[in-house]
């Protein structure tokens, strides 16, 4: 009886930690409304040059050569989807890695680490807030793009897409945990985040189909979760494919997620112990 009450109370405490971490991070975000508006709107400007480039090179909004590789001749929706999903990489990868660093800069990291709670729940709270803000930004960008370029956003299309976005976020959580672990011990995880961001940008089909890359680069691209997320989402939104017909890509994404999350938690626990032993936590 006592044990059950204790377990319930422990669960409630952990959920309390997650919830409050989420609220704290959302308050930080809302404290800078201009940053919120920037991420919700401005990434659209980053892909507009690709639309003008397409018009200049093919003289219209459709390309037969592009259709032969991707299955769709319309390059604008292809670019829009790539950019919106890539924005998750930008916010989650940099956001999570930097969130631990931010605690150190604000002078609160020591308190967070000595609090009588499992740090995993603190990280889950941080991850949830990053996912929530990323989804708000992505939804805004997608809605504006749909208005400007006329894309199909029915509920039947968006539900499976939402599921895939969750799977992408899970994989990025794993990577972010590795980055958070790095910033605990080595402080400047920014360079590692940037480098991973570059790898995702070049080896995933964000702006161009995977087939445009050399064979060795295509193989490398296939171990990146963003690659599968982009292939699945574009197949659903642009080619009208069902989720069941894409089971191989979904399974591959799930497998990559599992590996990344396991590696992330393992690395974080290992680095946290190492940082505590070396006394590097309060270093900048």
Residues in touch with another protein (CB under 8 A): 32, 34-35, 38, 42, 45-46, 48-50, 52-59, 63-66, 68-70, 75, 79, 188, 191, 194-195, 198, 201-202, 206-209, 211-213
Q: How far is the CB of 50 from another protein (least distance, A)?
A: 6
Instruction: Name the residue nearer to another protein (CB basis): 202 or 254.
Output: 202
Query: What is the distance, to the nearest Å, from the Cα of residue 179 to the centroid of all Cα atoms in its chain?
Result: 13
Shortest Cβ 37–another protein spacing (Å): 9
Task: Extract the tokens encoding 59.
Answer: 């003289």
Cα angle 250-202-102, degrees, rounded to a multiple of 5: 85
The CA distance from 76 to 219, in Å, is 26
Q: Among residues 198 and 262, whose Cβ is nearest to another protein? A: 198
Closest approach, Cβ 142 to another protein, in A, equals 19
Q: Report helix, strand or coil for 12.
A: helix
CB closer to another protein out of 102 and 119: 102
Residues paired with residue 62 on neighbouring β-strands, in sequence order: 74
Is 31 exposed, middle or buried (CB count within 10 Å of its CB: 0-12, 13-18, 19+)?
exposed
DSSP summary character for residue 209: -
What distances in angstroms separate CA 42 from CA 38, 45, 141, 144, 262, one per listed residue?
A: 5, 6, 8, 11, 34
Nearer to another protein, 104 or 123 (CB): 104
When the beta carbons of 201 and 220 are compared against another protein, the nearer one is 201
CB of 240 to another protein, least distance (A): 22
* Residue 62 DSSP label: B
In 3-state terms, what secondary structure has residue 226?
helix
Q: Of 67 and 150, which CB lies nearer to another protein in the complex structure?
A: 67
């Amino acid at each position: 009886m006592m044990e059950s009450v204790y377990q319930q109370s422990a669960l409630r405490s952990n959920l309390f930690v997650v919830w409050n971490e989420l609220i704290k991070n959302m308050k930080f975000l809302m404290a800078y409304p201009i940053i919120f508006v920037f991420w919700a709107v401005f990434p659209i400007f980053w892909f507009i040059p690709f639309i003008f480039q397409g018009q200049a090179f093919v003289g219209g909004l459709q390309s037969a050569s592009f259709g032969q590789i991707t299955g769709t001749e319309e390059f604008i929706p292809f670019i829009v989807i790539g950019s919106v999903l890539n924005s998750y990489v930008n916010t989650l990868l940099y956001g999570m890695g930097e969130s631990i660093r931010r605690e150190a800069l604000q002078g609160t990291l020591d308190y967070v680490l000595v609090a009588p709670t499992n740090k995993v729940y603190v990280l889950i709270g941080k991850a949830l807030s990053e996912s929530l803000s990323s989804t708000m930004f992505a939804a805004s960008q997608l809605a504006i793009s749909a208005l400007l370029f006329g894309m199909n956003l029915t509920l039947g299309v968006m539900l499976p897409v939402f599921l895939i976005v969750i799977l992408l976020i899970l994989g990025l959580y794993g990577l972010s945990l590795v980055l958070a672990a790095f910033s605990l011990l080595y402080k400047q995880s920014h360079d590692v985040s940037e480098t991973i961001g570059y790898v995702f940008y070049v080896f995933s089909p964000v702006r161009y189909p995977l087939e445009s890359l050399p064979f060795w680069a295509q193989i490398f691209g296939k171990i990146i979760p963003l690659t599968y997320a982009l292939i699945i989402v574009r197949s659903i939104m642009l080619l009208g494919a069902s989720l069941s017909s894409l089971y191989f890509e979904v399974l591959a994404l799930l497998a990559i997620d599992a590996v990344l999350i396991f590696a992330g938690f393992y690395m974080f626990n290992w680095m946290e112990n190492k940082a505590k032993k070396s006394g590097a936590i309060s270093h900048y």
